[in-house]
A and B are shown apart, each in its own frame.
Chain A
Amino acid sequence: MSDITRAEVCVTACADLFAGAGETLASPMGLIPSLGAKLARLTTEPGLLLSDGEAFLLTPESTVEGWLPYRKVFDVVAHGRRHVVMGANQVDRFGNQNISAIGDHARPTRQLLGFRGAPGNTINHRTSYWVPRHSPRVLVEAVDVVSGVGYDRATGPFHDVHRVVTNLAVLDFATPDHSMRIVSVHPGVSVDEVRKQTSFPLVATDVGETRLPTDEELELIRTRLDPDAKRDGEVPR
């Protein structure tokens, strides 16, 4: 199975984010997390609810099983049965995330999307992040604008930043002070490389290797979910 690509490892790492989720709305942003959520639904998590990114809940056969316009998404956010995988222009060691602006918010050097739903997501339900290019510019000591709330600013009963999946590694916050930790490095990636591409010190005890997709998963990814291999555009081979 030496022909397994990095993108395919990232897809299964994203699928594993939803382990044990049950009947929860999976809201993946970006191609790799979307493939991961669909893969989880087809394998270990058949209870997952998946939206088409617009207003419908779809089965793996793409039939409509529910209606979820944006206003109802906010109801689900507040209700809490949701696991979102957001992108991040910046993430810091405590899981604060920025998709709003680079520089001073009053007059940014680079305006990005805005807060979007990040504050509400992170204060209400489980949140993970997907970083297709793990670099010191993304994994920063402190984010410029806190859109998604990290552990050092967490408040309330429902804050739950789960994992960060990157093109190099899977990371989480299961340390005594909730600072970021390497859970596993992808096959062919060293802990040193991950550290070099990160602006802050990472906890790295008992680092594993990210698992490879099973034959069944590979088959699903390659023939059913992404036959045109668009995944290689988001994570190069």
Chain B
Amino acid sequence: MRDKRMTADEAVGGIKDGMTVGIGGWGSRRKPMALVKALLKTRVEDLTVVTYGGPDVGLLCAAGKVRKLVYGFVSLDSIPYDPWFRRARETGAVEVLELDEGMFQTGLRAAGHRLPFLPIRAGLGSDVLTYAPEIRTVRSPYDDGEELVAMPALKLDVALVHLNRADKHGNAQYLGPDPYFDDLFCLAADRRYVSCERVVETFEGPPQTLLLNRMMVDGVVEAPGGAGFTSCVPDYGRDEALQREYAAAATDLEKWPEFYERLLG
């Protein structure tokens, strides 16, 4: 079986200008921050970033790498709004496709199922459809005749996710309370990279926690602390102090260069 271990730089090395990159986790929870930081160090730009957004969005906006954002929300959880995301939006620096969270999941599922769309009620009547006229509705062919949103597949060139454990072949395990949507990101993508706290030979814990299998993964990066400063329970909680520093530096741009340099190490 293939040994898929690689460095974070190798994992993001295949990402080219203009690609669509899906980022796993949720808000400020189990984000693949080590992979995001590796991406920040590249020259890549014009990315479309697809994510349940947290500081990954802020950092990529800060580095000017984003042409378009696809998200249901962007939040740091304990701090409601990410300052860099706000700035990017309020200065018109990025194009957006802002979705309902459930539409977002449905779009990932459609991509993973190789379907052009999946029907969903969410979005009807709201301004999601006003600002995304490319999203159409579809009418049920059955007697109910109900009109539903035809959520288009959110196809990804690359998925970046972080889990607690993985083996060198790409089987990977979450040990916290929530898998988030990392399996769906991998199924929706052409190339899939998982970073993990620890590469293991054998897994402990119930098999139901093995979220990814090796069909779903192309590269494994061992990155202890690789979700920080977001949470990666049970290995560690969110580094609230560092997140507050991030938000403060992102708000006061005089502080930003020093913080950014330190964060990227």
Which residues of chain A have a CB within 8 Å of any CB of chain B?
54-56, 67, 69-71, 74, 77-78, 100-101, 105-120, 122-124, 145-149, 153-156, 158-159
Contacts and interface: CB of A to CB of B under 8 A. Distances in A.
Contact of A120 (B90, B100, B131, B181): B100
Contact of B100 (A56, A106, A111, A118): A118
Contact of B105 (A71, A109, A145): A71
B85 interface: yes
Contacts of A158: 121
The secondary-structure label for the interface of chain A is: loop
Contacts of B202: none
Interface residues of B, number: 40
A153 B125 contact: yes
Interface of B: 26, 53, 71-75, 80-81, 85-86, 89-92, 98-103, 105, 120-128, 130-131, 146-147, 177-181
Contacts of B92: 106-107
B26 A148 contact: no
Contacts of B123: 119-120, 123
Contact of B90 (A107, A114, A116): A107
Contacts of B90: 107-111
Contacts of B102: 74, 77-78, 117, 120
Given A117-B72, A120-B100, A147-B126, A70 B181 contact: yes
Contact of A116 (B73, B177, B178): B73
A77 B130 CA distance: 22
B124 to A, nearest CB: 5
Nearest to A120: B122
Contacts of B177: 54-56, 67, 69
Name which of A109, A111, A149 has the most chain B CB atoms within 10 A of its CB: A111
A123 B125 contact: yes
Contact of A159 (B89, B125, B128): B125
